[in-house]
Copies of this chain bind each other. A is one copy, B any other.
Amino acid sequence: MAKMKNDAICRMDTDFAQWYTDVCRKAELMDYSSVKGFIIYRPYGYALWENIQSYLNQNFKATGHENIYMPMLIPTSLLQKEADHVEGFAPECAVVTKGGLETLEEPLVIRPTSETLFCEHYAKIINSYRDLPKKYNQWCSVVRWEKTTRPFLRGSEFLWQEGHTVHATEKEAKEETLRMLGIYKDVCKNLLAIPMVTGLKTEKEKFAGALETYTIEALMHDGKALQSGTSHYFGQGFAKAFDMKFLNKENQWEYVYQTSWGVSTRLIGALIMVHGDDNGLVLPPRVAPTQVMIIPVREKEAGVLDKALELKETLKAHGIRVEIDLSDKSPGWKFSDAEMRGIPVRLELGPKDLENNQCVLAKRNDSTKQTISLNENVAETVCQLLDEIHEEMYEKAVNHLQEHTTRVKTKEEFIDVLEHKGGFVQAPWCGETDCELQIKEETTATTRCITEEEVHSDDTCICCGKPAKHIVNFAKAY
């Protein structure tokens, strides 16, 4: 079958950044608006987010979390209550100074994140250990003024969820921090077919106000890392600043222990850059808005259209998200369009197929085709194929990650790997921020997370040569 090349987009190897924005536009995931950094999430892109939301919501609810909605605006005085936090976010804020034609007495900030609002609310509603834990989550958009923006990866407005929980004990809060990290790892593996590298952020890279920040980091096709979600343990820092106290079982006042955690529409960026190819998007089946596209060939000939419509209903009845392309375009154009949009399976059906009582299933991820009999249980075959595709895509991403994870001992090795191979470079580090900064300045690579690799006595910091404290995952990152 003749195939139209998707010449409309730049080749990945020619210019990866251009390829990325080409795919974003041509697959109709997003469009630009007239305000810089504020994108439009078009139906196809937003549907990806809805599928991620739905998967996470189930997991959040199963682990006892409740959804809530907090105000969009934060008084500047409230944002300033926790010192580290305001220092981290104030420079990125959008500020409302007028409301209803009048100048406001106190300027209001559009939420860049909602810790302060949750803290204020929790302080009001929590009195006793019986009120704990409180495990709330919010789906919303946040605004952080960015100078350099890229669709899904860095925007002045993005969609996310932010979980905020408070607990009676440190142990419970720390368990929560790790539980949510686990849920993030799970959604990436089982829905998005993306393996994640996880670990603690260094002091320098952690969240403004957190004691510990755990991260999930994915490796993009171009060898750069993408921070894809974080889970923070706050200890009692915010609790003290916001006076979040409870009467414990011993009838003593005690400050709560707190966490927060979030993932955003960045995950869509990860999907694109982990799985995509020169023909466009390649979507893992479970998150794909359309899992099967039926393309009837010469559908005006007897029986083709009817059979195609019948197949659609059959697949739909089995819970498969299926569409049929009945536009007046050529089959070549339709194939190319389904490819660009990354639809996992293309089902082709023409007069000759009908004669032989068969149809053709073409897989987007590896371009292979198979002919199956229409006597078979087509829906079951397709379901199985979708699962196979998920596994294949995950495995491919795991291989790419493993091939691009390199353990080094010296700075020379470090630079060499970074330049010629990319990916995660695991290197010994003394634990000092100065060394982190120096490496960043020299190589543009940053610490992505601290590994749990054992540190040997002869491991020395690749920067200063002092004894190493940790083996750290460095990478160039988005």
The reply to whether A40 and B67 form a contact with Cβ atoms under 8 Å apart is: no
The reply to whether B124 and A38 form a contact with Cβ atoms under 8 Å apart is: no
Interface size bracket, A side: 35 or more
The reply to whether B71 and A120 form a contact with Cβ atoms under 8 Å apart is: no
Which A residues, 21 to 55, have Cβ-Cβ distances below 8 Å to chain B? 31, 33-35, 38-43, 46-47, 49-50
* Interface residues as binary, A57-87 with B (CB distance below 8 Å gives 1, 0 otherwise): 0000000001111111111001000000000
Contacts of A95 in B (CB 8 A): 96-99
The reply to whether B96 and A100 form a contact with Cβ atoms under 8 Å apart is: no
A272 at the interface (CB under 8 A from B): no
Min CB distance A393 to B, Å, is 26
Contacts of A46 in B (CB 8 A): 66-69
Closest to A97 in B: B97
Closest to A329 in B: B130
The reply to whether B68 and A96 form a contact with Cβ atoms under 8 Å apart is: no
The reply to whether B34 and A72 form a contact with Cβ atoms under 8 Å apart is: no
Contacts of A31 in B (CB 8 A): 121, 124-125
Given the contacts A43-B136, A97-B97, A72 and B38 also touching, CB distance less than 8 Å: yes
Give how many copies assemble into the complex. Answer: 2
| A3-11, A139-147, A170-178, A179-187 - the one binding chain B | A139-147
Contacts of A71 in B (CB 8 A): 33, 35, 38-40, 157
Contacts of A93 in B (CB 8 A): 98-101
The reply to whether B91 and A101 form a contact with Cβ atoms under 8 Å apart is: yes
CB-based closest 4 A-B pairs: A100-B145, A38-B71, A43-B66, A41-B69
A-B contact pairs, 29 of them (CB 8 A): A31-B121, A31-B125, A33-B70, A33-B71, A34-B78, A34-B120, A35-B74, A35-B108, A38-B72, A39-B71, A40-B121, A41-B69, A41-B70, A43-B67, A43-B68, A46-B67, A46-B69, A47-B66, A49-B69, A69-B159, A71-B157, A72-B157, A93-B99, A93-B100, A95-B97, A95-B99, A96-B97, A99-B156, A100-B147
